[in-house]
Amino acid sequence: MEVGILAYGGYIPKSRLQREEIFKAHAWFNPGLKGLARGERSMANWDEDSVTMSVEAARGCLQSMDRDTISGVYMASTTFPFLDRQNAAIVADALNLRSSVQTLDFSSSMRAGTSGLSVALQAAGANNGPILLCAAEKRKTKAGSALEMTTGDGAAAFLIGSGNIIARLIGSHTESVDFVDHFRGEEEQYDYTWEERWIRDEGYMKIVPTAIEGALAKANLKAEEITTFCFPVAARNVATGLAKKVGISPDAVADNLQSNMGEAGSAQSLIMLAHALETAKAGDKILVASFGQGSDALLFEVTEVINEFSGQAGVSASLAKGRKVTNYNRFLAFNEGIEMDLGIRAEVDKNTGLTTHYRNRFMAQRMVGGECSNCGTIQFPKSNICVNENCGAIDTQKDHPFAEKTATLNSYTADRLTFSPDPPAYYGMIQFEGGGRLMNDFTDIFPDDELTVGMKMRMVFRVKDYDNKRGFRRYFWKAVPVDTNAGE
């Protein structure tokens, strides 16, 4: 049974912090940053994390998919919101998947994304149904560091299985080597990185070629037959140097997206793969390699099915929707780079009652409302009594999902009195197509955006609020304007 990629999706946050603004803030201390002060890096909103970005990327995979057929959800990241709560299970919940799916987290290495992809390809061969693999990163970096310049936030997702595949796996190889180019200890927020030239010469140039040559040998393929080579490294000329060493054409080296996004850790190799598939042709050979305590190399051959596939909410679409951000302090505030006086309105205790959280998870995380089986009225949230004044039937509500519905903006407010990490707080009444309305928070609203009554809105899965005292965060669905949302 042939296994491969059935669908793909990608998501890059809308905000693009201009690197020149980072340099301006730190030039007095480290003028050497000038060499990195070109282009822009993607910047997650305050209510985004690796889970929410995974959900958004995954939605691009599943638009025409029967979600009940999915047998597993895997998530890869080194920046999971929870260390002891399965993050892939939150993703599965947000996507309203059945509870019998297998959920797994992959972490602790920059090759967690490709490792998760390898395992998904193996598991999908058991014919239990397709597996959804997500990879996302929102890495914390020290202010004024080179990593702050070169990293970026983003996610990719792939549906792995058999059948109508757009790219088949033809070879793979893994080298597991405890080469420590950087690390982050248990109690640390930031990566500790070693010297770049040593990493390049002893790491990239010696370990990665072995993995690539192993994959080529298993696929019985020559290096010059590779059409696209995806290797996630921010440093200049490393991918080109690797290509030259193993015999891959320089023209095959894929854009590492450093100019307009940055490097998204363990997700970057998969983001580059999703980006490559957007322009791939039948017969193309795509090599994806990663680096982190060794190297994974996976070879895919694109099939004729690619001609019928129209990727939605992909990497290119997200990049095209980018909005320039020049307020570096805003970036620092969102990423806990500065300690701000948030005012007394921010001092409300955010303790979440886990009993209530569990009992309302279908409403909060899955955004499932109700439909009256007696009169057909749709409502959110679901209740025991139908809201139709001409019905009022009791216990007739069946589940009705709202997350993928388009809504219309009925009213809105920009509030600077209530606390918001990104004031003003935008919220208002939205009316869902087919019925149901909700007083809801809005997100991804930029200063020059103009909200108008009647405009179309869509729902996105985001952090509702943080309980910093206990290290918990609650999720809910928020509304964004359709015409300004990345991926539309």
Residue 390 in domain: no
How large a percentage of the chain has pLDDT more than 90?
90
How large a percentage of the chain has pLDDT more than 70?
98
Q: Are residues 424 and 282 in the same domain?
A: no
- 437, 425 Cβ separation under 8 angstroms: no
Residue 403: which residues within 8 A CB-CB, separation 6 or more?
A: 94, 96, 366, 367, 459, 461, 477
Give the span between the Cα atoms of 267 and 370, in whole angstroms.
36
Judge whether residue 308 has pLDDT over 90.
no
Per-residue pLDDT tens over the stretch 286-303? 999 999 999 999 999 999
Give the span between the Cα atoms of 48 and 463, in whole angstroms.
6
Residue 81: which residues within 8 A CB-CB, separation 6 or more?
A: 49, 50, 51, 87, 473
Model pLDDT, residue 312:
52
Q: What is the mean pLDDT of residues 31-41?
A: 96
Judge whether residue 487 has pLDDT over 70.
no
Per-residue pLDDT tens over the stretch 187-237? 899 999 999 999 999 999 999 999 999 999 999 999 999 999 999 999 879
Domain boundary pick from 334, 349, 369 = 334
User: What DSSP string describes 166-208?
Assistant: SEEEEEEEEEE----SEE--TT-SS-EE--HHHIIIIIIHHHH
Domain boundary pick from 313, 334, 355 = 334
Model pLDDT, residue 273:
98
Model pLDDT, residue 488:
38
Q: Are residues 326 and 440 in the same domain?
A: no
Residue 247 in domain: yes
Q: Domain total for the chain? A: 2
Q: What is the mean pLDDT of residues 398-408?
A: 96
Q: Are residues 411 and 326 in the same domain?
A: no
Q: Are residues 218 and 134 in the same domain?
A: yes
pLDDT-derived band at 435 (thresholds 50, 70, 90) equals: very high
Judge whether residue 239 has pLDDT over 80.
yes
Give the span between the Cα atoms of 458 and 442, in whole angstroms.
10
465, with CB counted inside 10 A (0-12, 13-18, 19+), is middle
pTM of the model: 0.96
Average the pLDDT over each of 39-53, 299-313, 342-356 and give the range with the smallest value: 299-313
The average confidence (pLDDT) of the chain is 94
Residue 351 in domain: no
Residue 395 in domain: no
User: What DSSP string describes 108-176?
Assistant: SSTTHHHHHHHHHHHHHTTSS--EEEEEEE-----TT-HHHHHB--EEEEEEEEESS-SEEEEEEEEEE
Per-residue pLDDT tens over the stretch 244-254? 999 999 999 99
Per-residue pLDDT tens over the stretch 437-481? 999 999 999 988 999 999 999 999 999 999 999 999 999 999 999
Residue 355 in domain: no
ω into 381 cis (within 30 of 0): yes
- 407, 429 Cβ separation under 8 angstroms: no
Q: Are residues 261 and 408 in the same domain?
A: no
Per-residue pLDDT tens over the stretch 255-273? 999 999 999 999 999 999 9
Model pLDDT, residue 310:
60
* CATH number for the domain harbouring residue 243: 3.40.47.10
* CATH number for the domain harbouring residue 423: 2.40.50
Q: Are residues 65 and 162 in the same domain?
A: yes
Domain residues for the domain of 414 are 404-484
Residue 203 in domain: yes
Give the span between the Cα atoms of 259 and 362, in whole angstroms.
40
User: How many helices (H) and strands (E) would you count in the chain?
Assistant: 13, 22
Q: What is the mean pLDDT of residues 63-69?
A: 87
Model pLDDT, residue 347:
86
Q: Are residues 102 and 206 in the same domain?
A: yes
Q: Are residues 197 and 310 in the same domain?
A: yes
Q: Are residues 322 and 409 in the same domain?
A: no
Per-residue pLDDT tens over the stretch 121-168? 999 987 688 999 999 999 999 999 999 999 999 999 999 999 999 999
Q: Are residues 66 and 185 in the same domain?
A: yes
Residue 411 in domain: yes
Give the span between the Cα atoms of 158 and 132, in whole angstroms.
6
Residue 378 in domain: no
pLDDT-derived band at 346 (thresholds 50, 70, 90) equals: confident
Give the span between the Cα atoms of 422 and 134, in whole angstroms.
27
- Structural tokens at position 84: 């002891």
Q: Are residues 326 and 457 in the same domain?
A: no
Per-residue pLDDT tens over the stretch 358-367? 999 999 999 9
Domain boundary pick from 278, 307, 334 = 334
Q: Are residues 89 and 175 in the same domain?
A: yes
